[in-house]
Amino acid sequence: MKTIEAEARIDKLRELLEDYGYHYYVLDNPVVTDVEYDQLMQELLELEQQYPQFQSESSPSVRVGGAPLPHFEKVEHKIPMLSLGNAFNEEDLRDFDRRVRQGIDDEQPTYSCELKIDGLAVSLTYENGKFIRGATRGDGTIGEDITQNLKTIRSIPLRLKENVDIEVRGEAFMPKRSFEALNKDRELAGEEKFANPRNAAAGSLRQLNPKIAAKRNLDVFLYGIGLLEGNEVFSHHQGLEYLKEIGFKTNQENKHCESIEEVIEYINSWLERRAELPYEIDGIVIKVDSLEHQKELGFTAKSPRWATAYKFPAEEVVTKLEGIELSIGRTGVVTPTALLSPVTVAGTTVKRASLHNEDLIREKDIKLGDFVVIKKAGDIIPEVVNVLADRRTGEEEEFRMPTHCPACESELVRLEGEVALRCINPKCSAQIREGLIHFVSRNAMNIDGLGEKVISQLFEHELVQDVADIYKLNREELLNLERMGEKSVDNLLAAIEATKQNSLERLLFGLGIRFVGAKAAKTLAMQFETIDSLNDASYDELVAVNEIGEKMADSIVSYFEMPEVQELISELKELNVNLTYTGPKISVEAVKDSPFAEKTVVLTGRLEVLSRNEAKEKIEALGGKVTGSVSKKTDLLIAGEDAGSKLDKAESLGIEVWNEERLIQELENN
């Protein structure tokens, strides 16, 4: 075969296989037999091997999986993938509807309802109609690049029917049939079975070898548009239709509802029918259909105000309480945990459930050896619902909380006004370990690669006893630990070194001062600027700070009075850990003269120079309060490109409006 003929045949085979695959995997309407499809695929593979100059990342042949990956790269989502708020009953749904109507001036919203697929949220990016990147949700801002694994999912188009630039969101999942086949194979191979399809799907997509992912027969439903260039979509259901038109697989069970009553009817119709589906669902997602209304409603820090997830009632099962285990948290609180006979709840094996505190054990009359009803709160956290007292044999035993700490044997105390027992020994080994885990966590110092397991290992080998020891770790010590190779050790040491430059608020939160959360740590850091100034602050100076209450002020003073804390600060200074606030500063004079002082500001539209977060930080640093919706209380609207209903509403209310150029000018003048 001549080269030009081979190229033409390869193009033709790709075209045929794409079309056949679309009919089979997306439309569920095969137009050729499996044998014919496999023969054409084999011919394509052979030609691509014979003529490597014609290989393409968008060829159907990539579905079989490429070479193993060394690791997953990090990907920043241009539009954050926020989680949804939850609704658990009809009252929650009607409350959601009330908040929506209030947010759009009592207009009657319509809703789009979709099945909440139990899988792994993914983001797919296409340029000029070609699939270029796929990522996990991650923390909503940063995910992992799993493009090669996603290419093995045959219902994900590698080329769209239109040459558009688009980023879409969806749920990758493992159908029940694929899950059962996978677990059967693992059982025959003597491997541990997956607990549920969700875990199996997540595990498959995080395989470094795409060939493994290719064998798992995953599927996907696309449910939303993140970014779309050059095309107008005005409602969510219209967006779903557009996704379908250009080649994406969407769930056909979605429904457009005219009222919250229709939403409730839709939910009730699926409560009993969910078991009939060929895939797992754990609820229903409800979204305000109008994109204009979505813009108007905006977002909280964690979730959109225009959407919620109705979670199906938790499955309740009966099992035996074999024992109660005690754990010590970083603040010394003793928490009892029920040890259960293993039982399957909502698709996972449960062996433990929280009992919270001694008062709850007494209130529910829980005894060792009882048969208990357990459920997963929100389908996530196992909890004991009640005891089956009529099944008692008389052999059950009363449980009594200890008088001394199970970790350090110090006497436990119950502080006035608290229900929890607490160990107040600052040298308690359990508290130190938990405190270290908190110190390295994402919202604190955020030391990449230093998670709970590594901290536990370091603690067990007596390499760390306090947070300063983390900055004293050396290469030789770490290389002697299990599963710590040269590259991982070098990466870990580099990550630790980098966090020495963190701004003071991260350190303050990481130190775990009682009652001081992330927000209070930021307030304190901005106010006092250095740890020495905070150390010297009196109780009266602390309570004078906005949002710092009496209990917190008392806790801060008590913390810095401890000799071991003074010693720790000295050590951190010697180790060159930054103890100064390096974020945007608030000048009292600047705030007093600022055009934003004590004003409520709303940002809308697309900003070209500043990011939304940058603008928000700068405005707040000058005494302004940034909110998400326009109301009579709004003083100023900053309107970027493509400003929509918020601009219209602001103008109708006579609210002052600036463009981004004016915003930047005012910021520079202050």
Give catalytic residue positions. 116
| CB neighbour list of residue 242: distance below 8 Å, 6 or more residues apart | 225, 231, 233
Where do the H-state alpha helices sit in 274-401?
291-297, 358-363
Residues written for the chain: 670
* Paired strand residues for 220: 172
Q: Whole-angstrom Cα distance, residue 336 to residue 357?
A: 6
Alpha carbon of 216 to those of 27, 41, 65, 152, 175: distances in Å?
20, 19, 11, 9, 10
Query: How many angstroms separate the CA atoms of 260 and 194, rounded?
Result: 37
Q: Strands 166-173, 120-127: parallel, antiparallel or unpaired by DSSP? A: antiparallel
Alpha carbon distance 219, 153 (integer Å): 6
C-alpha angle 206-209-214 in degrees, rounded to nearest 5: 85
Strands of 397-548, DSSP E: 412-413, 422-423
The side-by-side arrangement of strands in the sheet containing 120-127 is 130-136, 120-127, 166-173, 219-228
CA 145 to CA 157: how far, in whole Å? Answer: 17
Select from 470, 469, 471, 489 the least CA-distant residue to 479.
Answer: 489
- List the one residue out of 400, 361, 406, 414 whose CA is nearest residue 383: 361
Distance CA(184)–CA(367), nearest Å, equals 38
Residue 469, phi then psi, degrees to nearest 5: -65, -25
- Let me know if 406 is exposed, middle or buried by CB neighbors in 10 A (0-12, 13-18, 19+): middle
**Token pair 């994406």 in the structure block, residue:** 248
CA 235 to CA 28: how far, in whole Å?
A: 26
CA distance 86 to 307: 9
Burial pattern 458-496, b for ≥16 Cβ within 10 A else e, equals bbeeebbeebbbbbebeeeebeeeeebeeeebeebeebb
